[in-house]
Structure 1
């Protein structure tokens, strides 16, 4: 079935990890890739800023109850579940893998896939654009703070210092703001070259992953991560995703949101950004730890796409069925009237 195909980015990530496993960067190449990775991260967030349209954000910005819940789900509920998961230790995983799960829980939502799935399912697209974009922007501030507040307490990873937050602002936020302010000059070019920009985004992520896994391979990541560890990461990712999806659907119905808004809450409040998470991890954590910390995020990314794609198709089919029933019920009085 089409919904279970591996997305192209995930396939490229697997190839990149294999390349780093057999041909990791060593010696003088490490410094070169460090410089190249920093430049790629800056370019990635410059493009994110350049793609962000203020008009679309304003169009969906008035739905404050929906946005409030999405932000609560992304930056409060998810981290709370991550803390519970790390404290409970229900699976046979190392402390570093649990650190990776906790890290993915504090990240912002995806932008492109959240909007695309909301549109496919028949949700409130304008609100999805606003929520997903706001989550991505706020994540540059909130996620590093959550790393400092949450992860320092439960791990030995240094992450909350002012120096690291300053590096986040310099490498992520400053290029983002410059890109957004440049829209008045480059907006037309951005719209005409979205395919090229998407490829640049992917290339930046792949470069960061190669650099991170090269360091991890040199430090013996595959001696610590076996097949059963990967299986348990898949199990943990599925469990975490289903809990969040269930809570978001229940909350949307409990608080009286309509069907399009429920769809938006489901897809914007239940996903985590690989595009933000990998570069941020490269800044926040020691080089030797980045590869193993982003491993749960990479697996969760693929699982969320597969599961949410399946849900989007179910919502779309249900919406088409409701529309057909509504059309049929509206046509009955007209037929009866004509028979009279």
Structure 2
């Protein structure tokens, strides 16, 4: 019971709430905006440097060996979920501001969240090894493909996707990750031994990115644009997107003929979306006055997936082959 309750006490929820409230109450605007953006970029660089150190190269190699599981997983995450995001973006455009509606497309193109996927697969008594490798592989691929897929499906007009954005992604995301991979032979054990402390690096960097994003949105009038009806519509659409994603992933895993433990791993690796990639990438792709609107669906999705996934995983643990 204590393990299940712990799922509801994820510190990331508190970090996101504090960062969002700080953006609303004390936005980094005017002369503070440029230093805040610089701090965000530096923090994201450090985060992806550490990510490169801790993702074992052997996990990437294993992804190619077990292609019958990982290829469908990648196609679901970056294909089916992206198309779902496009559909929900069009639905949202009828009731929400365009900058928020496009956030559903952005949400659909993002990779899975590693820690969440692994935790809930473990709780559901699924194939944890597949979940670990699958979530890690998806996140690596996501760094390279999320922005191009988002642009191809029609979001490029809102994001700053051009040569400058490609250079920023290369310098702030890919370069530090590559450096981390290159030096992980000397640093990975050091990172693993400090896992409990380093996980707070993830949370702090995400919090900074969310704070800066919402600061820009508040400066552009987010509070005056959104009333109770708009917030209700956003919540309802995000909840529907999450439920459709879960159901589609479960049906897809059954159609593919996976064993029950593998289906559980597929479910959580395919449908848990990553704010750890989404918030930093949004800070690179979108202008500060746009980013806060775009990540609003992602933040709600992240919160709801934590609330729903824990009882779902507990129910799945009762199912055995």
The answer as to 2:223 corresponding to 1:219 is no
Task: Give the alignment's TM-score, normalised by structure 1.
Answer: 0.88
For residue 264 of structure 2, what is the aligned residue in structure 1? Answer: 263
* Structure 2: distance between partners of 1:26 and 1:251: 45
Any idea what the Cα deviations from partners look like across 1:165-217, whole Å, max 9, x if unmatched?
Answer: 22112110111111122211112211111011111111111111111111221
Q: What do residues 130-188 of structure 1 show as CA deviations (whole Å, max 9, x unaligned)?
A: 211111111111111012211347xx413431321221121101111111222111122
| SS of equivalent to 2:319 | helix
Contact 2:89 2:103 in 1 (8 A): no
**Distance (whole Å) between structure 1 residues aligned to residue 131 and residue 151 of structure 2:** 29
Contact 1:25 1:214 in 2 (8 A): yes
Choose 23-32 or 130-139, whichever is displaced more.
Answer: 23-32
1:301 equivalent to 2:291? Answer no
In structure 2, the residue matched to 1:17 is 20
- What displacement does 1:100 show? 0.8
Q: 1:228 and 2:229 equivalent?
A: yes
CA distance in 2, matches of 1:57, 1:293: 31
Of residues 8, 11, 25 in structure 2, which corresponds to 1:8? 11
Moved more, 279-288 or 21-30: 21-30
Matched residue, 1:128 = 131
After superposition, the CA RMSD in angstroms is 2.0
1:274 aligned residue: 275
Q: Residues 93 and 101 of structure 2 are in contact (CA less than 8 Å); yes or no, is this contact kept in structure 1?
A: no
Instruction: Return closer, same or farther for 1:97/1:28 CA change in 2, 3 Å cut-off.
Output: closer
Equivalent in the alignment of 1:53: 56
Indicate whether 1:208 and 2:198 are aligned: no
What is the 5 A alignment of 1:105-120?
A: 105-120=108-123
Cα contact 1:237–1:296 (8 A) shared by 2: yes
| Alignment partners' CA distance in 1, 2:260 and 2:64 | 18
Task: Tell me, yes or no, if the aligned pair for 2:169 and 2:284 is still in contact at 8 Å.
Answer: yes
Query: Structure 1: 5+ residue runs without aligned partners?
Result: 323-340
Alignment of 1:86-105 (within 5 A): 86-89=89-92, 92-105=95-108
Deviations 1:100-156 (A, max 9, x none): 111111111111111121122122222212211111111111111012211347xx4
Structure-2 change in CA distance of 1:61 and 1:255 (3 Å): same
Q: C-alpha displacement at 1:27, in angstroms?
A: 3.5
The residue number in structure 2 matching 1:165 is 166
Residues 66-75 or 179-188, more deviating: 179-188
1:248-279: CA deviations, max 9, x gaps? 21121222110111011101111211000011
Structure 2, unaligned runs of 5 or more: none
Tell me the number of residue pairs that the alignment of Structure 1 and Structure 2 aligns.
Answer: 318
Given that 1:69 and 1:265 are in contact with CA atoms closer than 8 Å, whether structure 2 keeps it comes out as: no
Pairs within 5 Å for 1:55-70: 55-59=58-62, 61-70=64-73
Larger radius of gyration: 1
